[in-house]
Structure 1
Amino acid sequence: MDLSGKVAIVTGVSKGIGRATAELLLERGATVAGWSRSAPTGLAHERFHFVACDVSREESVQQALAATQQAVGPEVHVLINNAGLGIMGAVDGFAADDWCTMFDTNVHGTFYCARAVLPKMKRQQLGHILNVASLAGTVGSENMAGYCATKFAVRGFSEALFKEVRQFGIKVTCLNPGSVETSFNGKTPGATPTLGKLQAEDVAAVIVHTLEAPFHVLISELDMRPLQPGK
C-alpha cells in the first residue's frame, strides 16, 4: 500500500511502539489518528490528530471512531492495534481484576477496534489491520500466564480474521515482537539503547514495511526478536 494520503489509526500512541509507528507513518505521508488515554508529549504535526480513547471500553472505541471520521473524513485504510499492557505474577496469587484488565485491553480492545473499522474497509475493498501481539503469544512462560494467554488469543483472532476478510481486499497481520526497550513494564527506557533489545523504532520500521507490501501480498504473521539478546 502506498501510505501517502492514507488514513491510519494507531492505538496506544502515547509512547513506545505506538508513538514510533505514528511518527514513521507521518514521514510516509499518511494522516494519523492516534488513540490512547493520554496524548503523546511533543508530537505536533498537521496530519496527526490525537483522539482520547480507552480501547478496553466498547463505547469509547465507537466515540473515537466518530471523532476520527469527523476530523479526517470517513475513510480508514490502516488500523494498528498496539495498545496493550502486561501484569506479571504467579497464577495462584494473581488478582482476578488484573486478569480481566489485561483481557479487556489486549484482547477485547483489539476486537472492538477491528470490528469498528471493518465495515468501512469492506466498502472500500481495501484495508490493513495489524495486531501487535508478542513472542509471549507463541510459548508460555512462568509468571506470565495471563499475559501469554492474551497474546495467544490475539494470534488466534488474527489468523481467523485474515481468512474471513481477505476476500474483501483487507489484510490482517499479527506481529510478534520479542523484548523491546520501552516503558511497557513501568521502566523508563535508557538514554543509551540496550543492544540486547529491540527498539520501538525497529518495530515501527517492520510495521511500515509490512503495510507497504504490494496489494497481492499478504504477510499474515511475523516473529521479531533481537539478533544478539545477550549483549
Structure 2
Amino acid sequence: MEIEGKVVVITGASSGIGLAAAKLLLEQGATVVSWSRSRPKISHPDFYFFGCDVRHEQSVLTAYEQTVERLRQNISVLINNAGLGIQGALDTMNPRDWHTMMDTNVNGIFYCTRLVLPQMKKQLEGHIINISSIAGLTGIENMSGYCATKFAVRGISHSLFKEVRPFGIKVTCIYPGSTATHFFDGFEGTGTAPENMMQPEDIASTILHVLQSPPNYHHVDIEVRPLMPKGRPDQKKA
C-alpha cells in the first residue's frame, strides 16, 4: 500500500508501540488519527486526536464519527494496539482485572474493527494490524488472563483475514516479545532486563514494512523477539 496521504487510525497511541508507530507513519506522509484515552505528545499538521476508551462501544463509535466528520476521508489502516496486562494466578485474580483485560484487549478490537470494515470493503483496500504478544502463542505462569486475551486476538485475526481477503483487505497479527514499554512496570520476574528488550521503534518499523508490502503479498503472522534477552555472554559478570 502507498501510505502517503492515507488515513491511519491507531488505538493506544499515547505511548509505547502506538506512539512510535504514529511518529514513523507521519514521517512517511500518512494522516494519523489517535483513538486513545490520553493525548499523545505529537505536534504535526497531519495528526489528529480523538479521546477514546476502547473498552466502551459508545466511546469508540463517537471517536469514529468524529474522525469521519473531521477528515472527510476514508480510513485505510487500523492498528489495534491498545492493550494491557495484569499479573495474577487464576484462582486469586480479581474479576475486575479479568474483565478490564478482556474489555480492552479483545472487545476493543471488535468495537473498532467492525466500524472501519464496511468502507474498506467498498474501496477494496484496507489493512487491519492487530498487536498480540508472545503471550498469544504460549502460556505464561501467572498471566493466564492476559494470555487468554492475546490468544483471542490471534483467533480473531486468523478468522478475519479469511473473511475479508476477497475484498482486498489484509489482516496482520504481530506477536512481539519483550519490548521496552511501560507494560512491565510493577511486574515481577519478567526475565529480560530493559536494556536487552526490543524498542517500540523496532515494532513500528515492522508495521511500516507490512503496510508497504505489495498488494498481493500478505503477512498473516509475524513473531518478533529480542535476539539476546539475557545479554551478550561476554558482558556477563563473573
Fold shared, TM-score > 0.5 on shorter chain: yes
CA distance in 1: counterparts of 2:180 and 2:36, whole angstroms? 20
Task: Provide the rounded CA distance (Å) in 2 between the counterparts of 1:120 and 1:56.
Answer: 23
Alignment coverage as a number of residue pairs: 225
Determine the C-alpha separation between the residues in 2 that align with 1:72 and 1:27.
19
For 1:194 and 1:95, how far apart are their aligned partners in 2? 28
State the alpha-carbon separation in 2 of the partners of residues 83 and 71 from structure 1: 22
- The CA deviation string for residues 149-170 of structure 1, in whole angstroms up to 9 with x for no partner, is 0000000000000000000000
Q: Is the radius of gyration larger for structure 1 or structure 2?
A: 2
Residue of structure 2 equivalent to 1:58? 57
Q: How far does residue 185 in structure 1 lie from its aligned partner after superposition?
A: 2.9
Q: Which runs of 4+ in 1 moved over 3 A?
A: none
Contact 1:49 1:71 in 2 (8 A): no
Q: CA deviation at 1:195?
A: 4.0
TM-score (normalised: structure 1): 0.95
Rounded Cα–Cα distance in structure 1 between residues aligned with 2:34 and 2:230: 34
**Alignment match, 2:234:** none
AA of the residue aligned to 1:38: S
- Tell me, in whole angstroms, the C-alpha distance in 1 between the residues paired with 2:105 and 2:4: 29
Cα drift, residue 196 of structure 1: 1.4
CA contact (8 A) 1:155 1:174 kept: yes
Report if aligned partners of 1:126, 1:169 keep a CA contact under 8 Å in 2: yes
The corresponding residue for 1:109 is 108
8 Å contact kept, 2:7–2:73: no
Alpha-carbon distance in structure 1 between the residues aligned to 2:223 and 2:68? 33
Quote how far apart the aligned CAs of 1:186 are: 3.2
% identity of equivalent residues: 54
CA contact (8 A) 2:89 2:142 kept: yes
In structure 1, distance between residues paired with 2:183 and 2:115: 26
**Does 2:166 match 1:167?**
yes
| 1:107 partner letter | V
Superposed, 1:208-227 pairs within 5 Å as: 208-227=208-227
Which residue matches 1:94? 93
Deviations 1:148-199 (A, max 9, x none): 0000000000000000000000000000000000012336xxxxx9441010
Question: What CA deviation, in whole Å up to 9, does each residue of 1:54-87 have, x standing for no partner?
Answer: 0111111111011111221230000000000101
Q: Is the aligned partner of 1:15 residue 2:15?
A: yes
Ranges in structure 1 where 5+ consecutive residues have no aligned partner: 188-192
Aligned to 2:74: 75
Q: Residues 165 and 171 of structure 1 are in contact (CA less than 8 Å); yes or no, is this contact kept in structure 2? A: yes
For structure 2, which runs of at least 5 residues remain unmatched after alignment? Answer: 187-192, 232-238
Rounded to whole Å, the distance in 1 between the matches of 2:84 and 2:93 is: 15
1:184 aligns with 2:216: no
Q: Alpha carbons of 1:194 and 1:87: their partners in 2 closer, same or farther (altered >3 Å)?
A: closer
- Aligned equivalents of 1:216, 1:51: Cα separation in 2: 33
